[in-house]
Amino acid sequence: MPVYIYHNSAQSLWRSTRARDYVRFPRIADSRPANLPHSYRALFSQGILSTTALRALPRPVDIIVEKDSDRLYGKQIRNHVWMRQIPERSFVTIEPSVRLSTPEFTYLQMATVISLPRLASYACEIVEGYSLNQGGRSFHARPPLTNLGLLAPYLSKCAGARGVCGARKTLSYAVEGFRSPAGTSLALLLTLPARLGGYGLPTCASNHRIDLAESWERYLRTPYLPADLAWPTEMVAMEYDNIVRQRVAPPLGVTPPLRTGLFAQRSDDLRSQLLG
């Protein structure tokens, strides 16, 4: 009798350090939240809420149920009724009694409760190589959880679901390839439309490869440098520094840690000079 983890709880699990393991777990073909524990008391008698995956989750734990009569009433859980058909392979089995919404399904769920700029930031997060830690003031590296090529087809299977229109629209602002929230925040600030608080520039590329002249290649012992942000068609590249933390990240709800150290500063300065 498994529980199906949903919404904020699903987001918390995908942001945990165990997400690199979860992403490798098989996705189950049957995505109906059926065979639920028959009562709130059963969650405790079966030890479901004290499993390794759920023990550290903030309470209440968000679960999804198929109909109102399936609700489990108790202080430590919060029910969400999803009456529409859920696409196959929308959950992964992370423990015998725990099903976790996939990154794609979790993204759709978050589209119902957060603003479009924050949703765009979350889309970038799950397709890039980092996760925010609890509180959003730091982050840790991990492999991408999904990619834009999987998100778009998944949303097309959810036509009519709550939040799907905003989720689809937001994907057009997402950029793959950043390795920290600072790059994401700056890219969104520059490319989101003015009505969403951005400057309305075209979508940029992240860590764009710029080939070096032969003399610089010999000096730096590398054939190219990655530009933090680039608009290849317009032949524009941009490097950012720690000012992103103070002026860019807070409006988008992200406060990434400072890049510190002499090497990091010199690396940024050198790339800025070469790309300028």
pLDDT computed for residue 41 by the predictor:
67
155-172 tens-digit pLDDT: 999 988 999 999 999 999
Residue 133: pLDDT band with limits 50, 70, 90: confident
* For residue 196, pLDDT beyond 50: yes
Strand partners, 236: 231
Give strand ranges (E) for 58-211: 61-65, 77-81, 91-95, 98-101, 130-132, 139-141, 205-211
User: 230 and 208 in contact (C-beta within 8 Å)?
Assistant: yes
pTM of full prediction above 0.85 = no
The per-residue pLDDT of the chain, averaged, comes to 81
- Greater confidence (118 vs 255) lies with 118
* For residue 243, pLDDT beyond 70: no
Residue 44: pLDDT band with limits 50, 70, 90: low
Rounded Cα distance, 4 and 99, in Å: 5
Give strand ranges (E) for 82-238: 91-95, 98-101, 130-132, 139-141, 205-211, 224-231, 236-238
87-103 tens-digit pLDDT: 989 999 988 888 899 99
* For residue 254, pLDDT beyond 60: no
Whether residue 226 is preceded by a cis peptide bond, meaning omega within 30 degrees of 0, is no
Eight-class DSSP state of 227: E
What are the phi and psi torsion angles at 5 (to 5°)?
-85, 140
